[in-house]
């Protein structure tokens, strides 16, 4: 009987070890992910939208400049082709 | 390029894609990685500079070859203006890379093979303009710079893609680790990254197209007088 119990305990502990090992592997990425600092609070407080708004304003400004430059070039091209005729 | 000079729809596409890049690039979820933290978002701005540079230089070398085939000075203007836009993209790529490296690799310039090779490649392209400006005869200038353009482009390929991969490098995509693998570029990043590449490249072609039209106008005025 003690021998049988011993065998059972052996099996049990090895199973326990395997389970712990398995959980460690499974949980490792979750744990390490939690430790990586991200700007979660910043996003939560909503201030990130201010940044996006400002970048978008600047981007729009540059697009507008490009658009105007495009127009000016077109006018110049027209003038030149009219002078040719 | 001829088609791009005549049409406008792709400029609107560029505006839409870049607006999406800013909003999506700053707001959409990103993988949580140690050291990189939120700077992973730089991927949508730093990497497209290099993709854009390569795509603009590809256009440049195509027109260099076309010039050599046809001797049409129009193609020389296409080629040189695309090259100058490409250099601007490359400089922005290297400066943004240095800023990113300062916070992730510890110093802006660590003499990493990728950094050195991209600097050499940019210097080769800068020499293209030194060469252009040093030649006075128009035909000679166009012909020699077209040949040099092909040389610069073919040198850029091993400098950016092969040599850094043969040694250890901190830069993703080198020293054995591919940059566009599932680990480096997960599906959250892909949603923005590809549109960012197309958007920034179109912006490059937009700027180049204005420069080309101004150059063509300048040439017409000179020919008329």
Residue A34 confidence (pLDDT) above 70: no
A27 and A44, same domain (yes or no): no
Per-residue model confidence as pLDDT tens digits over A38-53: 777 766 666 778 878 8
Residues in chain A: 85
Task: Check if the beta carbon of residue B91 is closer than 8 Å to that of residue B46.
Answer: no
Nearest alpha-carbon partner for B41 in B22, B54, B55, B13: B22
How far is A10 from A4, CA to CA, in rounded Å?
10
Residues A40 and A28 in one domain: no
Structure confidence at residue B29 (pLDDT): 81
In this structure, what are the phi and psi dihedrals at residue B167, rounded to the nearest 5 degrees? -125, 180
- Whether residue A11 sits in one domain with residue A52: no
pLDDT tens per residue across span B61-120: 999 999 999 999 999 999 999 999 999 999 999 999 999 888 888 888 988 888 999 999
Considering the domain architecture, whether residues A42 and A15 belong to the same structural domain is answered as no
**Cβ contact A80–B19 (<8 Å):** no
Confidence (pLDDT) at A4:
65
Question: Degrees (nearest 5) of the Cα angle B60, B122, A69?
Answer: 55
Residues A17 and A45 in one domain: no
Minimal CA–CA distance to B96: which of B42, B52, B159? B42
Q: Report the alpha-carbon distance of residue B77 to residue B90 in Å, rounded.
A: 20
CB contact at 8 A, B81 and B212: yes
User: Which of the four pLDDT bands, split at 50, 70 and 90, describes residue A14?
Assistant: low
ipTM: 0.71
Q: Note down the domain range covering A52.
A: 35-85
Q: Which of B217, B222, B223 to mutate to test the interface with A (most CBs of A within 10 A)?
A: B217
Give chain A positions within 8 Å (CB) of B25.
Answer: none
pLDDT at B39: 83
For tokens 């890379």, name the residue.
Answer: B97
What local confidence, expressed as pLDDT, does residue B105 receive? 86
DSSP character for B181?
Answer: S
**DSSP labels, chain A:** -HHHHHHHHHHHHHHHHHHHHHHHHHHHHHHHHHHS---HHHHHTTTHHHHHHHHHHHHHHHHHHHHHHHHHHHHHHHHHHHHH-
pLDDT tops 80 at residue A24: no
Across chain A, mean pLDDT equals 73
Q: Do residues B86 and B122 lie in contact, with contact meaning Cβ atoms separated by under 8 Å?
A: no
User: Are A81 and A49 members of one domain?
Assistant: yes
Determine the Cα–Cα distance for residues B36 and B13; give it in Å rounded to an integer.
31
- How many structural domains are present in chain A? 2
Q: Are residues A70 and A55 in the same domain?
A: yes
Residue B162: what pLDDT?
82
Q: State the residue for tokens 């201030």.
A: A47
**Tokens at B127, concatenated:** 């020499």
Q: Is there a contact between A59 and B19 if contact means CB atoms under 8 Å apart?
A: yes
Provide the CA B174 distance to its chain's centre, in angstroms.
Answer: 19
Q: Kindly state whether residues A56 and A29 are assigned to the same domain.
A: no
**CA distance, residue B2 to nearest chain A CA (Å):** 15
What distance in Å separates the CA atoms of residue B21 and residue B170, rounded to the nearest whole number?
Answer: 26
Same structural domain, A16 and A52: no
Together in a domain, A43 and A72: yes
Q: Please, which residues have CB within 8 angstroms of residue A28's CB and are 6 or more apart in sequence?
A: none
Residues A55, A28 within the same domain: no
How high is the pLDDT of residue A20? 62
Considering only alpha carbons, which residue of chain A is nearest residue B213?
Answer: A73
A65 and A78 share a domain? yes
For residue A61, the chain B residue with the least C-alpha distance is B15
Of B32, B207, B216, the CB nearest to A33: B32
Task: For residue B158, give the nearest of B119, B111, B121, B128 by alpha carbon.
Answer: B121
- Rg of chain B taking only CA atoms, in angstroms: 19
**Mean pLDDT on A30-43:** 64
pLDDT value at residue B175: 56
Enumerate residue ranges in chain B where pLDDT < 70: 173-185
B175 φ/ψ sector (left φ>0, alpha ψ -120 to 50, else beta): left
């Amino acid at each position: 009987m003690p021998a049988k119990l011993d065998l059972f305990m052996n099996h049990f502990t090895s199973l326990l070890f395997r389970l712990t090992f398995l959980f460690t592997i499974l949980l490792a990425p979750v744990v390490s992910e939690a430790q990586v600092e991200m700007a979660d609070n910043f996003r939560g407080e909503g201030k990130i939208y201010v940044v996006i708004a400002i970048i978008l304003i600047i981007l729009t400004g540059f697009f507008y400049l490009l658009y105007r430059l495009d127009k000016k070039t077109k006018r110049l091209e027209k003038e030149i082709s009219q002078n040719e005729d | 390029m001829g088609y791009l000079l005549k049409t406008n729809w792709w400029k609107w596409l560029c505006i839409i894609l870049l607006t999406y890049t800013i909003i999506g690039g700053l707001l959409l979820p990103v993988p949580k990685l140690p050291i990189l933290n939120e700077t992973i978002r730089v991927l949508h701005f730093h990497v497209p500079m290099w993709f854009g540079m390569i795509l603009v230089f590809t256009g440049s070398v195509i027109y260099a070859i076309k010039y050599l085939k046809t001797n049409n000075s129009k193609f020389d203007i296409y080629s040189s203006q695309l090259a100058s836009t490409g250099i601007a993209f490359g400089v922005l790529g290297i400066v943004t890379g240095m800023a990113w490296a300062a916070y992730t690799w510890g110093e802006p310039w660590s003499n990493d093979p990728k950094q050195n090779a991209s600097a050499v490649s940019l210097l080769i392209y800068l020499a293209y303009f030194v060469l252009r400006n040093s030649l006075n005869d128009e035909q000679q200038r166009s012909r020699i710079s077209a040949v040099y353009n092909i040389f610069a482009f073919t040198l850029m390929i091993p400098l950016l893609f092969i040599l850094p991969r043969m040694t250890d490098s901190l830069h993703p995509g080198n020293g054995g680790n591919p940059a566009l693998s599932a680990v480096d570029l997960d599906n959250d990043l892909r949603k923005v990254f590809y549109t960012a590449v197309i958007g920034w490249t179109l912006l490059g072609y937009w700027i180049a197209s204005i420069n080309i039209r101004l150059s063509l106008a300048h040439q017409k005025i000179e020919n008329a007088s």
